[in-house]
Structure 1
Amino acid sequence: MKLSGLFGVFLLLCVDLRSSGMSHPKPSCRYPPSQWCRSLEIAIECKVQKQCMEVNATRPNQSVPPVSVVLYYESLCPACRVFITQQLFPTWTMLQDIMTVTLVPYGNAKELPSANSPFTCQHGEPECRGNMIEACIIHLTGHSAFQIINCMESSANVLNAAQPCLQLYAPSVSWSSVDSCLKGGLGNQLMHANAVMTRALNPEHTHVPWVTFNGEYTEENEDKAMSSLFHLVCQLYKGVKPPACTGALVRLNRGFC
């Protein structure tokens, strides 16, 4: 699952739209701000093609592969929740043009040969349900999944937050589709796929969160990721560093909100 979006465009569009006399796109725009620059057609409909062109001009060279970050985690693991909300999501928000994030909710769970309860989890049955909810959401919502997962993991009650977080970030996806995924065979299939991915790790994972970069795990990178994932992603990216990494000033039209 590749997660994409343009958080940086929010501030830029806020500035430029206000300076051009528009406080927001015309009502005919059917898309949330996070999708305004996903395609030329959407940008034209939402009257922000000029601003999207300026954002695209500051993007890194797309011929250089992004840094691939894969997180193996558990939905109710306190350390995983801290890493997602304080390191991974903020870093992705700033550097999503040079990194991809894949979320694998499974962690220290065990797959059992039982039709009634095929999985057991470190933090009990609620965590197994949380893992499956997040696996279903990742499968059903695509580019909005990371925002939903972060919303859940930053909430006081991860499971209770699932439905409102889904409605907030992917209103076109009904909760009934997630419920069908949970109660039907799809949820178990997704969890089995996550179990296979987790068991295939080399070296074998010994804890969560467990993070790989470009398909590899090292203790050195893990230590760096836990303290400053942002700087590690900037360091690992092989292309020209984006302004967020270098602190370089980018000359765009000035404006203020």
Structure 2
Amino acid sequence: MKLSGLLAAFLILCAGGRVLGISHPKPACHYPPSQWCRSLEIAIECQVQKQCMEVNAARPNQAVPPVSVTLYYESLCPACRIFISQQLFPTWTMLQDIMTLTLVPYGNAKEFPSANSPFTCQHGEPECRGNIIEACIIHLTGHSAAHIVYCMESAADVLNAARPCLQLYAPSVSWSSVDSCVKGDLGYQLMHANAVMTRALNPAHTHVPWVTFNGEYTEENEDKAMSSLFRLVCQLYKGVKPPACTGAPVRLERSFC
């Protein structure tokens, strides 16, 4: 994040809560911490612009493509839930600067376009509903989707967790918009797209979770992902490894509260 001297000076004034020597109360921050560094405007509102600039300075070279990780899964599959909770989300949290994540909730479902119920799922109708809820949330919430899906999949009740997880991680997205998506044409279109993506896998998937890296599936990589996805993503990244991968310390300006 490059700032001109004038803008940098303005940010320093704002960070201290003073402009031209006049004190102002700290403004309310309406964004969850996961979004604080998404833009300069958000960083200013949440008064973390200095910290965001330090984080950006330590990020890897953006010219090197990130590792593309795609998870094909179904919402009520116990193995999928364990993988998302114990491997995928922690890895993405630590390595999202060098990896992109695509979630495809469909798994072993079947599509019957001519039937009254267009989809059937391995774990019954509740799973079909969970799949479509998560497909709609992924579509509507963008960057926050990974947090919401993790929140749901790690909860005791996946379906009942959907609404509070949405409110926690994407408060600007109303539950009514998700509900409209689930019950309307958009939800069907999203599920159909996931069905097409899943059926197009080569080799065809035989189980879930099914993970591809940079668009390719190998049994070797899947075995590594199930035991240590974090280590695998670090190995696959072609650029200079970030400190999280190497364990190397990064010296930033120290600050305390």
> What is the TM-score normalised by the length of structure 2?
0.88
Q: Distance in 2 between matches of 1:220 and 1:151?
A: 29
Q: Distance in 1 between matches of 2:78 and 2:132?
A: 17
- Aligned AA (1:131): N
Q: CA deviation at 1:232?
A: 0.1
Q: Distance in 1 between matches of 2:114 and 2:65?
A: 41
- Aligned AA (2:114): S
Residue 64 of structure 2 aligns with which residue?
64
Runs of 5+ consecutive residues of structure 2 not aligned to the other structure: 1-15, 18-24
Runs of 5+ consecutive residues of structure 1 not aligned to the other structure: 1-19
Residue 157 of structure 1 aligns with which residue?
157
**Whose relative contact order is higher, 1 or 2, with alpha carbons under 8 Å and at least 6 apart?**
1
* Distance change (3 Å), C-alpha of 1:29 and 1:129: closer
3-state SS in 2 of match to 1:128: helix
3-state SS in 2 of match to 1:71: strand
Using the TM superposition, name which of 92-101 and 27-36 deviates more: 27-36
3-state SS in 1 of match to 2:141: helix
Q: Distance in 1 between matches of 2:126 and 2:29?
A: 40
**5 Å matches for 1:55-204?**
55-204=55-204
3-state SS in 2 of match to 1:103: strand
**5 Å matches for 1:1-40?**
26-40=26-40
Q: How many residues align?
A: 235
RMSD: 1.5
* Distance change (3 Å), C-alpha of 1:79 and 1:213: same
Q: Distance in 2 between matches of 1:63 and 1:112?
A: 43
Q: CA deviation at 1:81?
A: 0.2
Q: Distance in 2 between matches of 1:162 and 1:28?
A: 26
Q: Distance in 2 between matches of 1:115 and 1:185?
A: 15
3-state SS in 2 of match to 1:192: helix
Using the TM superposition, name which of 63-72 and 168-177 deviates more: 168-177
Residue 8 of structure 2 aligns with which residue?
none
3-state SS in 1 of match to 2:60: coil
Q: CA deviation at 1:116?
A: 1.6
The percentage of counterpart residues that share the same residue type is 89
